[in-house]
Amino acid sequence: MRIAIVSDIHGNLPALEAAVEDIERRGVDAIVNLGDSLSGPLMPLETARFLMAQDWVQLAGNHERQLLTVPADRRGASDAFAHARLGAKEFAWIASLEHTHRLSADVMLCHGTPASDLEYFLETVEPDDFRAATQAEIDARLGDVDAALVACGHTHVPRVVRASSGQLIVNPGSVGLPAYDDIHPYPHAVETGSPHARYAIVEQRDSGWTARLVAVPYDHTAMAALALENGRPDWAHALATGHMP
């Protein structure tokens, strides 16, 4: 069994198309999408239509939940941009998405952690630090999930970690946004350091699950220019460099 994992597309359709083209060359049995697919100043409607046409298992991330539930006067700029461009069909599709999914007895999919679409799984934010999570933190966030493989997204940081139980936890990184900043629970920036579209391939072998993190080039300059045109210089810099300004 070979599964491609994409996550955190954020309306970046050209990055997604590049990732899918690369995936098809490598050959997989299935593609799964861990959510945060549309929010951002890029191509939310076009990305939604592309995803709606796929037969993938797809999750709702925190931004899908926010698009459906946060009032207009409280929406962030990225959600507001996407919300204004989506229609009834797209919102119905978003509402149909699960927040977690047990793909098989061996595989669990979530956006953040199994318990929360906002919680970081493999990283920890402290008042003065953004760091890799400790083994104890990872084990606590895994909870009682017994799947041999757990796939998560949300932080945009590609990483493969084993829990103390031996379970493999894989974050494929972000297809569409290689850096961002946030103020919750404390102000912090996440930077991958390059503009690549990222995804992962996991494979079940006799010895257990293996994971490969993949970085794919695409025309990131065009998406940076689109973000700037849509009033988001922070996104433009992130898309062009993999760093925050």
- pLDDT of 77-102, one tens digit each? 999 999 999 999 999 999 999 999 99
59 DSSP 8-state letter: B
Phi and psi at residue 47, to the nearest 5°:
-70, -40
pLDDT at 184: 94
83 vs 96: CA distance, rounded Å: 16
pLDDT at 111: 98
172 vs 72: CA distance, rounded Å: 31
Residue owning tokens 């402290």: 126
**Domains in the chain, please, with CATH?**
2-241 (3.60.21.10)
- The answer to whether 192 and 178 have CB atoms below 8 angstroms apart is yes
CA distances from 234 to 135, 215, 229, 238, 245 (A): 33, 22, 12, 6, 6
Average pLDDT of the chain, as a whole number: 98
**Confidence label for 109 from pLDDT (cuts 50, 70 and 90):** very high
Q: Phi/psi class of residue 62: alpha, beta or left (left: φ > 0; alpha: ψ in -120 to 50)?
A: alpha
Three-state secondary structure call for residue 93 = helix
- The answer to whether 141 and 113 have CB atoms below 8 angstroms apart is yes
pLDDT at 34: 99
- The answer to whether 4 and 28 have CB atoms below 8 angstroms apart is yes
pLDDT at 241: 98
Task: For 58-69, write each residue's pLDDT tens digit.
Answer: 999 999 999 999
Q: Write out the E strands in 100-182.
A: 100-102, 107-110, 123-126, 129-132, 149-151, 159-162, 168-171, 179-182
Task: For 11-41, write each residue's pLDDT tens digit.
Answer: 999 999 999 999 999 999 999 999 999 999 9
**Confidence label for 75 from pLDDT (cuts 50, 70 and 90):** very high
**Confidence label for 228 from pLDDT (cuts 50, 70 and 90):** very high
**Confidence label for 230 from pLDDT (cuts 50, 70 and 90):** very high
CA distances from 76 to 87, 113, 182 (A): 19, 22, 11
CA distances from 109 to 113, 123, 150, 188 (A): 9, 17, 6, 26
- The answer to whether 236 and 224 have CB atoms below 8 angstroms apart is yes
Task: For 184-194, write each residue's pLDDT tens digit.
Answer: 999 999 999 99
